[in-house]
Structure formats: C-alpha cells, structure tokens
Structure 1
Amino acid sequence: MHKVEFSPSLMTMDLDKFKEQITFLNNHVDSYHIDIMDGHYVPNITLSPWFIEELRKITTLPMSAHLMVTDPSFWVQQLIDLNCEWICMHAEVLDGLAFRLIDQIHDAGLKAGIVLNPETPIEAIFPYIELVDKITIMTIDPGFAGQRFIESTLDKIVALRKLREEKGYNYVIEMDGSSNRKSFKRIDAADPDIYIVGRSGLFGLDEDIAKAWEIMVNDYEEMTGKKLVSASQA
C-alpha cells in the first residue's frame, strides 16, 4: 500500500453541506487546505480567517492556510492567533519579509510554508529554504479552480526531493492544482508528499461526499497502479 497525504481544498467544497462533508472527511484526510485571497494578488476573493474559526468547531485536523495576498504580514498574525498549524506564503511577495515572517510563525510554535507559482524557480527561495517546513508547487496559475494542469511544474517537485536528500532539509513537498484522474499518474511519478484535491479531483465527482471520495480513490489507484492508504488506515 502507498501512503500519500491528501488535503482537500475547501474553497471548492459545497458550503451548503459544510458540516456533512467535513464530518466525513475528518476520517479520511490528513489536513485541510484553506485558500485566503485578497482580490489583489489574484483577481478573486475566497475564504478568510473566520472560516478557520468555524472549521475548528467540527475538526481537530491540521489546517494549512494558503495566502494568495499582496501583503502577507497583514494576515500572518491573524492566523497565528487562530493557531493555524501551517501558514503558507507566496515567495513572489516575500522580498524583504521572508526571514521576519518565517521567524514570527516559528516563534508561535507553528509551521511556515512557501508557495511557488508555475513561473517561479526554486532558486528564488534558496536564501531561506533551510528554514521552511513546507514547499508548495503550484501546478496551475493561482487564483481559480479548474485550470489547465502545467506538467513542467512537476520538475520542481523532483528537484526539491533530490535537494532535500542531498542537503538534509526537513520540508515536505506539496502540489496544488488540477490533481485528478487525468494527472494522477504524472504527479505520482514526481512523488510529492501531499496532494491538494479540489473540484476536479474530489468535490465535483459526486454530490455525495462519500461517493466522491470513493471515486477519487479508485481514480488514483487505477491511474497509478498503487493501493492507497487513507488517513483512517494509517
């Protein structure tokens, strides 16, 4: 059996079935992915720190906030106050802020993640890569669900895994964007630690979340040839 982590992107869930879907997923996934967008860094506005407060009422699973914002320093302390386990910031807006914000997150006993857009090379984060707990590779352009999968981004996952082995770094590697039946085989070959699944890979597969999860697992196993171990089996 193959153990990879799945983290549902909750901006793509059916909010009319919020409690039902989270209650089911609590027994099957490893963490939750919460997109926070400010309408400036990307032309969209989705979830907020308030959503994390509401989610906290019905789950004990770790939460990972993905900040698609122009001013991460405005949001970081709010997420620290909510004890958000992972706070992930885009490298493209961290010039002059990276060390300060990573230290601020670590000083609070939380984990700091860095997100790379498809065009951003991993070399951009070399000055502080040894401090990072997670690196998220965007396999689509950020801001909207359902975009075209950019296969060349998988090379960065391979390179980050090699670099981690060579240097002894401790970050986990996550992929975000169009993780579904069409792309599972290619993603598996790159071997990230965490898959973000959204509308095309999970929530859009069936109105019933249990059926949608079953379809996703079957898709993964059929396309990769590997038997999946879910969080409830680990």
Structure 2
Amino acid sequence: MKPFFKISLMCMDFLNIAAQIEVLNEEFDGYHMDIMDGHFCKNITLSPDIVKAIGAIAKKPMDIHLMTTTPNDWIDSCAAAGAQIISPHAETINSDAFRIINKIKGKGCKAGVTLNPATPLTYCREYLGKIDYLTIMTVDVGFAGQPFIPEMLDKIREAKKFREMNNLNFKIMIDGSCNKNTFGKLHLAGADGYVLGSSGLFSLDPDLRKACKKAKEIFMEETGVKL
C-alpha cells in the first residue's frame, strides 16, 4: 500500500488559508480537520463552518476528526459541510458505536474511529470490520507540538496483525508527531498514513511549497519508500 499523507489544518497559517490550500491541493492526499468542543479535550479549533469554507477550494478529501464528547451532534453538520470522512473517538461512541458508524456511512461518508494513547485496541475490536480508517493517536489529544509516545508502536503492530489475521481492510493512520524522528519507526510498525502538522510540515520552511518538498524527502530518507 502506498503511504498517504493528510495535512492537519489546525497547524496552518490562518491568515493565509486560501494560499496554503492552493499549494496543498497539489502536494498531498487530503486534509485532517480537528473539531474540538472544549470538553472532550481542553481546546477549540476548527468548526463545520470552516470545513464548508475550505471545502469550496479544497481538491482533496476532508477527514474530520471529532474530538467531541457527543459526536452524534456533529455528524450531520460536518457531512453537510462537505466532509468525505468522519472519525469520532472510540471513547465517545462505545454505547452506540454501530449506530454512529452506520449514520456516518448513511451520509455518504467513509467512517473512521480514533483511539487515544491510553485506550487499547480491544476497545474497538468488535467494529473494526465496519470502518475505513483506524487513527491511532501517538500524542495526547488537544494540542499540537507534543512529544511522541513510543508505547504506541506496539498498538500499531497489534492493529496491523489483527487486520491481517481477520482479513480486514481498514487503513492505519497515525496522528501526532509524525516527522523525521518517527517516520521510520511508524513505517516499520505498520502505519499506512500520516497526519502532518507543525513538526512534520509547517515548520520545515517558511515557503510552504518548499516545506512540502522537504517533508517528502525526509519521509523517503527515513523509510526507504519512494513516493
């Protein structure tokens, strides 16, 4: 499987959104859009209105990461705003996980589920066969720039093994500190996709197009995978 990259828009320059989206449309595979409610994690970032505004110029799929206590309250508005993928947290849906996943797919979106670092894979094992993406957080939720949690490598290996043993098709995406220091380890553990934020993209060069080129070069150097 060819690696894929989604860009964390909470890390972008909000004074130059349109110009940055124009560059990113040509460079990567999609947009990772964090919606936080200030309750599930103590921060507030993007919103369905921003998803709708960016969707008017985005040429790649928008993946909504719902860091919200009640994800059911956000699915309709995110789908209406143009989301192609919606990924709530397993910690918030296990009382009605199958109903939530079916609702997301009923809106014409692909369904994902996200695991916090301290949440084991077994927490969502029963519905891994119904999702398109499993996002494994390798930092605690809420804020960019946190240090990588190395214990998550075992969870990635476990998810890959479980997928193979059960002949499932979900993609394993990593969110948190995907950069030069971690690309090689994440690739070897079994990651399929990577969310690039501050350390993996935006801090590499003031010129975003040059930063994109550097990010790809770094990934290829650290993993040996040709993009």
Q: Which range, TM-score by smaller chain?
A: over 0.9
Instruction: Write the distance in 2 (CA, Å) between the matches of 1:103 and 1:215.
Output: 39
Q: How does 1:153-164 map to 2 (within 5 A)?
A: 153-164=152-163
* Preserved contact between residue 62 and residue 82 of structure 2 (Cα < 8 Å): no
- Specify which structure has the bigger relative contact order, considering alpha-carbon pairs within 8 angstroms and separated by 6 or more residues: 1
* Residue aligned with 2:147, SS: coil
C-alpha offsets along residues 44-70 of structure 1, whole Å, 9 cap, x if unaligned?
000011111111111221110000011
Q: How does 1:5-20 map to 2 (within 5 A)?
A: 5-20=4-19
Query: CA separation of 1:225/1:127 partners in 2, compared to 1, >3 Å: closer, same or farther?
Result: closer
Q: Give the superposition deviation at 1:217.
A: 1.7
State the Cα RMSD in Å: 1.3
Q: Which runs of 4+ in 1 moved over 6 A?
A: none
* Residue aligned with 2:91, SS: helix
* Residue aligned with 1:26, SS: helix
% identical aligned pairs? 43
Q: Give the superposition deviation at 1:225.
A: 2.8
Q: How does the TM-score come out when normalised to structure 2?
A: 0.96
Q: How does 1:102-121 map to 2 (within 5 A)?
A: 102-121=101-120
- Counterpart in the other structure of 1:232: none
Q: How does 1:81-120 map to 2 (within 5 A)?
A: 81-120=80-119
* Letter in structure 2 aligned against 1:154: L
* Letter in structure 1 aligned against 2:174: M
* Preserved contact between residue 130 and residue 169 of structure 1 (Cα < 8 Å): yes
Q: Give the superposition deviation at 1:138.
A: 0.2
- Counterpart in the other structure of 2:144: 145
For the pair 1:191 / 2:193, whether they are aligned, the reply is no
- Counterpart in the other structure of 2:221: 222
Instruction: Write the distance in 2 (CA, Å) between the matches of 1:148 and 1:15.
Output: 24
- Counterpart in the other structure of 2:50: 51
* Preserved contact between residue 83 and residue 110 of structure 1 (Cα < 8 Å): no
Number of residue equivalences: 227
Q: How does the TM-score come out when normalised to structure 1?
A: 0.93
Q: How does 1:201-220 map to 2 (within 5 A)?
A: 201-220=200-219
Q: Give the superposition deviation at 1:188.
A: 1.5
* Preserved contact between residue 49 and residue 79 of structure 1 (Cα < 8 Å): yes
Query: CA separation of 1:171/1:87 partners in 2, compared to 1, >3 Å: closer, same or farther?
Result: same
Instruction: Write the distance in 2 (CA, Å) between the matches of 1:141 and 1:165.
Output: 27
C-alpha offsets along residues 137-180 of structure 1, whole Å, 9 cap, x if unaligned?
00000110010101111212211112112112121110000001
Q: Give the superposition deviation at 1:127.
A: 2.2
* Preserved contact between residue 179 and residue 197 of structure 1 (Cα < 8 Å): yes
* Preserved contact between residue 34 and residue 66 of structure 2 (Cα < 8 Å): yes
